[in-house]
Structure 1
């Protein structure tokens, strides 16, 4: 054989060289690629000199890459912060400004034109330009500090090698400016995508359902009790079943592995069923570049309930998983100021932070501050009440990769921009978007600046009360022992009352006529029970002045009720116990749900069905990689939901329904209501199914699904073989090299609507988590320098950095790390960069 090959190569030298080239090409490309990555790696040591600076700043990175910035004045500190963020996140910052201004087409090509059109229709750039150009800003120093930060970013662009993403895409960045930063900050305020989808789908289903009330699909909290922030906080009661440690901390008791332009031709059409059907395409198009915050947790513990005797804040806001992650973790100090914060990498002020005096966190309030309106338009005018008003227009353009531009014009009514004109294929009646952001002062940059400067919870409340949108739950704790909760953002008051569907815009009867005064926003300050919990649940069951009971896209109450159930089981809580709760994976609704199942289904005719019931009976309700019960339960949940609704909704609507939290609220109600007409399967003519029938069928179908999609052997029906976690990179879709940038998929603890809320797209049978805790932290003012945190994958998005993906294992294992705050804790550090005058 050897002799034959040798002769072949001797007789065909060209062929042998070609084969040698083919065989060695992958190796050559591998070394070329990683060599280029190394050349573009960030410089973490040495000096940076700039004529902008007049004093010194030092950046010392701790062992995991968190920068600790100390400046001799504010200018040097913010310059250093901008440069440092750019080292780790410049490509993310590039995407952020393009998302805020609708400029993705210029670097990714014409497939992104519809996305850019929609982003520009949100008027983020327009409102940013207006905000930036104000003559009398609330806090002029906030804008000055933003400029110093941007000077640091731009100094990086001018003097340092850019990461490899720029080479791959062939782009050269221009300097960053104020509008770049603010437009993306406003985009992050665009947290109501679920409201757009849910209102649309409600209207669609209302028109299509026959003999079924659409309200059952969108119950929100109509049938929930003990699930509101103001009325349902935990006390302290000793429970009879309080002996199981897993009921407190979510420990892994079923596994040995502890996984801690030209005018547009706007044609008016009457609303009919065809308009509603066309809405499906509109809703499907709302795939945003960065999905909104959803499903976050926060709780506060007063000194009376804290083992350390200090106030404690625990917070884990949830957002779409990505590489790099949403938060940039950094400490910044200069005379008169210090904060350890979690920043959007294009903004110099932290959204979430703490120092020796105070700490604050946030979750989404989820109040309904967005509406969709059917508009009546003729000859450039829109009907409002008995009069016709002229449309106004926002003009812009979309830049293409070849340098050419596409003119764009966004029509605007008194409700807001018309967002359907640029939806490809949509020919229905025009829809406008009402968003409180467009109608109120919303000085978000000034708010973030002032919150960082605030000395007391009254000052922080005063600063955050300036927010018009989005709605936020602020949690606060300080070294004096105060804890406080504030509902932030405005509650619109509609003339016709609250609504859950698309409104008729031409009559004027559904218009917003005012807002609940900020002084009447719900809040809790130093409650006697000593604990405050929020989890995107209903804010209050009480009426708010002028509004009545608030409406919102409230997330399911499972996490809130689980947290309340844990925190009321003992009087005092330690830092370690509170950190463990953040990793809790217990499905709080499962015991009630399975009790109904077992009372109905005693046995199964098939071996697979018998195994499903056996596993569920022995399950401890936790979601860890080795768990069989987690895999079986979540599949059973999905199969039952599908058997329940697919006949009424169809596959297309069913998948859309799965993109919003409402299906979980509805499911809780359906399971508890055996008399719902939805249990009857419309596909079986002449037969009327009951809840018992659907549950029995679902047991059998669950076994079939697991046998097909996981394993024919029930011993391998484990969570880790079904469920994964992934942090996708924007270039992760590229052939050959895309997976170099992605982190995952990997096995992990967690699941949907557990405290460790790593959510997947259930209705699409995609078991890869797409959203989850974007950071976790516990700040204990009784043990301040022992406070802890988690960051999902690490601080750096630069592939050549040693801090790229360096924390992902800790995140998957649920391991908290100590927050290094003081100079003594940080030490000299391995990496130190000095910023000096030129």
Structure 2
């Protein structure tokens, strides 16, 4: 007995020792890729001495003697902190993820190859102006210099993730940076999916299009023909199709996550300190690390500081000493789906206005880890690339004998958007920045500006010119062989919406409708938000003058206009139900919930139960209203559509009919459906959070999910690399925290402001910004998540262009010098 116990003890001790040794060895190799910020490097490609001063938040302040060296150093700093993220973005846009992830990402690679964003980026290098090309080349050389250091000195392969994947790290090219900007365009584009969804609803009922996808109030609405009248043979099966991979590695996002942001500016006369103010918080999917990276560059035109995206050599949102700029998604209708007819006798030809024409085709070989390679035939029409019916539900609206193609501004091989972004950060006035936007193509942005000549906002991005006779006005897929349905070029940049020094002294955008123009001069019929702008307008009007603090408070505002508008409608006849129900009954729980909501002001605070009750109730209500009519298509509406609920409960154009359950004999009222939906929500919530309604907390369900796209799914490792935090806000608040919308955790906060900045030109060094994670992409770095708690609490860090302040707070100075 003693001998058995002794051997068992030895085995346990040995196992523990092996685990400790393995963990220590793993830590040793992983930690070797942590950069030394106090090191010096002699590097080829530099013209002079460079200093990269790191402050306490790990923000690099770059000081060089030429712009070329400054861009070189930015590439070097990006690669030091985010090399894995950069190479992953590049592989994504190249359609080469499967080389390291296997069949898991094959569907992503196939669609990326069909779009050919990387090939288009490569061709567009030749159209860049000399200054832009110099910046791109210098930046690439800086990235490659760090890759060279990693290879020469065995610096842990550059990042811990590279130990899991043995593939070589290819050197950076100028086309890589252009391609990553196009990848950002893909992430914020939602019109393709919207067109398909509109067509699917039209096939069921044109009235349902009006109700579920209502027009934002205002003139300019164009009537649509029934989709079935264009394609009588279109399939009417609505089984769930693959709209695009939902893997964390996939850049193909659902329409609800197509893009958002807030930006506003106040002129000097509306600022308490007598100088312009600007605030910006662009919204993108959350990740660890966030896609944003803070940097300060000293250029020949002066210092510039703000948010960059690793891989792109430009401050995309930030300020210099005279001008501040912010960006929001413009929701420009820059995508059109075309249904192309195949020649029945030769499916390699498609119909055009001038007869049958062969597809432009080429073969692409996708290499797959641990599996045979796959050869894909890529096809293009005059309208754009042909996309498979398995993506974006295109198969549900494409008849037999037809294929779908896509027209999209981001497919322009003469795209000079990256040069425009560099020119904007060099601009000194609002007028100069607006002029610099002329070369910008995609993704379309509202550029909000504040400078010495006032404030302004202009939409940058090419606007497709559509024929007045376009059959679907660009809002549904259209026959691709009809000339009137094809794009007729682009409108001149001078026609883009712009607002400069308005009478009220304030400009801003929350993805709301910005302009009313009749088709075909319209910008879009699909806008990102009709709720947040109501709250923003009120906050701007409540004060005669604004300050940095009032702009920060507006960014962090958690009041939901949707909740304030919908609850009085939905619960109008449910508030008072007579005597209190017995404790422990469903009626009693409903009364307690209604009592809480009756005294709630719509603040989506993480510490309150009311936001959770409201969100769950509206989710259950919308599903009860639409599921009997739409069947499987109801799953496409997994986020609250406030305008739809309002139409139903106000019975606009007879929309109250949605409350009646079609398959039941009685005619249900909206009050009955509202009560049943509240019961549904309370049952679901009590199963997860217990039966004490008052103890529920919104933040428990609304956790921000900054997850690592690769390590975040691995057992044990996920607890170290994923950053989860209780957060306030919601889908329709200025402090926007877009919910996941899908089970089993529909209220997770998955999309929001990874960057916030507020710039005060009365005292520029009092300007502030924050990231939602940290600067470093290395999980072992203290800068991996050091800013996340500040972000969650609504705090900021200083934004200074003062070299002395940067050096005074330096935690490390990296010195670069030309190699002998």
State the TM-score, normalized to the length of structure 1: 0.88
Which whole-Å CA distance do the structure 2 matches of 1:48 and 1:375 have between them?
56
CA contact (8 A) 2:192 2:337 kept: yes
Instruction: Describe how 1:193-208 pairs up with structure 2 within 5 A.
Output: 193-208=189-204
* Deviation by residue 1:345-400 (Cα, 9 ceiling, x = unmatched): 00112222211011111001002111111110122211123511221124433222
Match of 1:406 among 351, 374, 378: 374
Following superposition, the deviation at residue 470 of structure 1 comes to 2.2
Larger CA deviation: 744-753 vs 424-433:
424-433
Following superposition, the deviation at residue 558 of structure 1 comes to 1.0
For the pair 1:272 / 2:251, whether they are aligned, the reply is no
Residue matched to 2:788: 808
CA contact (8 A) 2:729 2:737 kept: yes
Following superposition, the deviation at residue 138 of structure 1 comes to 4.6
Residue matched to 1:306: 271
Structure 2 counterpart SS, 1:169: coil
Instruction: Describe how 1:318-467 pairs up with structure 2 within 5 A.
Output: 318-378=283-343, 379=346, 380-385=348-353, 387-401=355-369, 405-420=373-388, 429-439=402-412, 441-467=414-440
Q: 1:643 to 1:349 in 2, by over 3 A?
A: same
Structure 2 counterpart SS, 1:274: coil
Larger CA deviation: 315-324 vs 404-413:
404-413
Residue matched to 2:161: 165
Match of 1:494 among 452, 461, 466: 466
Match of 2:590 among 589, 604, 609: 609
* Deviation by residue 1:41-82 (Cα, 9 ceiling, x = unmatched): 112112011132231000111111000000122232222211
Which whole-Å CA distance do the structure 2 matches of 1:76 and 1:783 have between them?
29
Following superposition, the deviation at residue 432 of structure 1 comes to 0.6
Following superposition, the deviation at residue 334 of structure 1 comes to 3.9
Residue matched to 2:708: 729
Residue matched to 1:707: 686
For the pair 1:154 / 2:144, whether they are aligned, the reply is yes
Match of 1:666 among 644, 647, 651: 644
Residue matched to 2:501: 526
Residue matched to 2:726: 747
Following superposition, the deviation at residue 25 of structure 1 comes to 4.6
* Deviation by residue 1:761-814 (Cα, 9 ceiling, x = unmatched): 225452211100121111011121101111111111012322111100011111
Following superposition, the deviation at residue 283 of structure 1 comes to 2.1
Following superposition, the deviation at residue 503 of structure 1 comes to 1.6
Q: 1:726 to 1:226 in 2, by over 3 A?
A: farther
Which whole-Å CA distance do the structure 2 matches of 1:554 and 1:419 have between them?
25
Following superposition, the deviation at residue 158 of structure 1 comes to 1.4
Structure 1 counterpart SS, 2:817: strand
* Deviation by residue 1:513-544 (Cα, 9 ceiling, x = unmatched): 2433221111110111011120111121244x
Structure 2 counterpart SS, 1:599: coil
Residue matched to 2:226: none
**Aligned residues, how many?**
778
Match of 1:560 among 514, 530, 533: 533
Residue matched to 2:243: 283
Q: 1:381 to 1:541 in 2, by over 3 A?
A: same
Structure 1 counterpart SS, 2:199: helix
* Consecutive unaligned residues in structure 2, runs of 5 or more: 222-229, 582-586
Q: 1:476 to 1:504 in 2, by over 3 A?
A: same
Q: 1:403 to 1:89 in 2, by over 3 A?
A: farther
Q: 1:275 to 1:437 in 2, by over 3 A?
A: farther
Following superposition, the deviation at residue 421 of structure 1 comes to 6.5
For the pair 1:57 / 2:53, whether they are aligned, the reply is no
Structure 1 counterpart SS, 2:748: strand
Residue matched to 2:224: none
Structure 1 counterpart SS, 2:627: helix
Which whole-Å CA distance do the structure 1 matches of 2:595 and 2:266 have between them?
40
* Deviation by residue 1:275-309 (Cα, 9 ceiling, x = unmatched): 7647x424254763364661211111111110111
Q: 1:424 to 1:332 in 2, by over 3 A?
A: closer
Which whole-Å CA distance do the structure 1 matches of 2:60 and 2:197 have between them?
45
Which whole-Å CA distance do the structure 1 matches of 2:669 and 2:521 have between them?
37
Following superposition, the deviation at residue 592 of structure 1 comes to 2.2
Which whole-Å CA distance do the structure 2 matches of 1:424 and 1:632 have between them?
32
> What is the RMSD of the two structures over their aligned residues, measured on CA atoms?
2.6
CA contact (8 A) 1:726 1:742 kept: no
Structure 1 counterpart SS, 2:483: coil
Structure 2 counterpart SS, 1:513: coil
Which whole-Å CA distance do the structure 2 matches of 1:207 and 1:825 have between them?
63
Which whole-Å CA distance do the structure 2 matches of 1:564 and 1:225 have between them?
20
Match of 1:600 among 551, 573, 596: 573
Structure 2 counterpart SS, 1:762: coil
Which whole-Å CA distance do the structure 2 matches of 1:276 and 1:508 have between them?
29
Which whole-Å CA distance do the structure 1 matches of 2:643 and 2:292 have between them?
29
Structure 2 counterpart SS, 1:333: strand
* Deviation by residue 1:735-780 (Cα, 9 ceiling, x = unmatched): 3343145333221122111001111122545221110012111101
Which whole-Å CA distance do the structure 2 matches of 1:111 and 1:119 have between them?
14
CA contact (8 A) 1:42 1:800 kept: no
Which whole-Å CA distance do the structure 1 matches of 2:717 and 2:630 have between them?
36
Q: 1:439 to 1:174 in 2, by over 3 A?
A: closer
Q: 1:131 to 1:284 in 2, by over 3 A?
A: closer
CA contact (8 A) 2:100 2:369 kept: yes
Following superposition, the deviation at residue 174 of structure 1 comes to 1.5
Q: 1:88 to 1:822 in 2, by over 3 A?
A: same
Q: 1:149 to 1:370 in 2, by over 3 A?
A: same
For the pair 1:795 / 2:798, whether they are aligned, the reply is no
* Deviation by residue 1:659-704 (Cα, 9 ceiling, x = unmatched): 7x8x344334334336315423435422222322222222222222
Which whole-Å CA distance do the structure 2 matches of 1:536 and 1:598 have between them?
29
Structure 1 counterpart SS, 2:111: helix
Match of 2:478 among 503, 509, 513: 503
Residue matched to 1:536: 511
Residue matched to 1:144: 134
CA contact (8 A) 2:193 2:392 kept: no
* Consecutive unaligned residues in structure 1, runs of 5 or more: 228-268
Structure 2 counterpart SS, 1:529: coil
Q: 1:776 to 1:818 in 2, by over 3 A?
A: same
CA contact (8 A) 1:654 1:763 kept: no
CA contact (8 A) 1:394 1:412 kept: no
Which whole-Å CA distance do the structure 2 matches of 1:72 and 1:94 have between them?
29
CA contact (8 A) 1:586 1:623 kept: yes
